[in-house]
Amino acid sequence: MWVSEIFTSIQGESTHAGRPCTFVRTSGCDQRCAWCDTAYAFHGGTEYTLDALHRAVAAAGVKLVEVTGGEPLLQADTPPFLAGLCDRGYEVLLETGGSLPIAGIDPRVKRIVDFKPPSSGMTDLIHWENIGHLKAGDEAKFVIANRADYEWSRDVAAAHALAGRVPVLFSPAFGLQDPATLAEWIIADGLAARLQLQVHKVIWSPSARGV
């Protein structure tokens, strides 16, 4: 697998925010979201065998592991790597941009699927069939940069009854959407959604890598 970076930090997002976590960030992405904060993972990286990746994760000594990107599902070895992590007793998270099918992923993996609102410029790439494959332990994420994104996300979550199936995360695009305003919208509409801040950008510099 081609990997941009491996590091251990505090989980900054999802319902697992605040927990120590080892991250495996793969290289390559099929999307170019307007507000992407990990464009450095689009290209390059280091090639690892699966055995070498497992050794690197084991050396960190943390039982929560997230495979993220880039887009992890672009690489054919990602599903067997995820399954191997589960076999080794890790609690495994997969963060995916939602453009590729999640149906074949080991059911022990907790999948965080990012549904791209209009400001991303990537809405047309959403693989909508993924909604039907969401299960207990999975999460649906929406990065929101403006009111139009909020309304789109609210309507998509309602149309597919997401809140009754998985946690729904509304994340303000850093530096673009005021979190307090987003909180007011969620409260006014009585949404069963979780306002998600990027905790790592609060603890460390927003531009810091490896955190």
Q: Which amino acid is at 136?
A: A
What are the C-alpha distances in Å from 187 to residues 1, 130, 140, 171, 192? 43, 28, 19, 15, 9
> Which phi and psi (to 5°) does residue 170 adopt?
-110, 110
Contact 103, 74 (CB under 8 A): no
State the pLDDT at residue 204: 74
- pTM for the predicted model, two decimal places: 0.93
State the pLDDT at residue 74: 97
Contact 1, 78 (CB under 8 A): yes
The span from the CA of 95 to the CA of 202, in Å, is: 20
Q: Which CATH superfamily is domain 2-203 in?
A: Aldolase class I (3.20.20.70)
Q: Hey, where are the domains in the chain?
A: 2-203
Mean pLDDT by 10 residues, the chain (211 residues): 96 94 97 93 96 97 97 98 98 98 97 98 97 97 98 98 96 94 98 91 76 71
Helix (H) or strand (E) holding 20: strand 20-26
